[in-house]
Amino acid sequence: MGEKKEKVRYAANDNKFVESIRRVLFIISIIFQFSFIFLSANHSYAADITWTGGTSTDWSTSTNWNTGTVPTLSDNIIISDASTTPNDPNISSGIVCNNMSVVELES
C-alpha cells in the first residue's frame, strides 16, 4: 500500500512557525533601517537663510533670520547690504554655515 503523506500545518503556538515569523520580521526591520539610514545620509539639502536683523545684531537670535531659526553647518547664509537691514550681524568666532554670500546693493 502507498504511504499517506501528512500535510504540514503550523499552529500559532508552534515553535517552528513562530521562529520563522520572527526571522522574516527581523530581516524586514534590518532592510528598513538600512534604507532609512541610506536615504537620510545621502539626501541632506542646504537651506538658504537670509539675515533680516529684525531684532538685534546677535547672530544667535532666531528672529534675526527669515526662517526664524539660527543657521547650522548645512545652511547657506545670505546677508544683504547694510542699508537694507535694521541691524547688521555681529559675526564672531564659532559661526558655522555651508556657504555665506554678502549681497551688495547695486547703485
88-105 pLDDT, tens digit per residue, is 998 877 888 889 998 886
- Amino acid 57: pLDDT: 94
Beta-bridge partner residues of 48: 76
Q: Do 97 and 50 lie in a common domain?
A: yes
Average pLDDT over residues 29-43: 70
In-domain check, residue 5: no
- How many CA within 13 A on the CB side of residue 14? 9
d(CA 107, CA 96) in angstroms, rounded, equals 31
Q: Do 69 and 25 lie in a common domain?
A: no
Q: Are 76 and 47 in contact, with CB atoms under 8 Å apart?
A: yes
Q: Do 37 and 75 lie in a common domain?
A: no
Q: CA-CA distances (angstroms) from residue 51 to 70, 76, 80?
A: 10, 11, 7
In-domain check, residue 2: no
- Looking at the chain, the number of H-run helices and the number of E-run strands are 1, 3
Number of domains in the chain: 2
- Quote the domain boundaries for residue 57: 45-107
Q: Do 19 and 59 lie in a common domain?
A: no
Q: Do 102 and 50 lie in a common domain?
A: yes
Q: What is the pLDDT of residues 16-25, one digit of tens each?
A: 877 888 898 9
Q: Do 97 and 63 lie in a common domain?
A: yes
Q: Do 65 and 82 lie in a common domain?
A: yes
In-domain check, residue 6: no
pTM (2 d.p.)? 0.56
Question: Does residue 68 register a pLDDT over 90?
Answer: yes
Q: Do 49 and 83 lie in a common domain?
A: yes
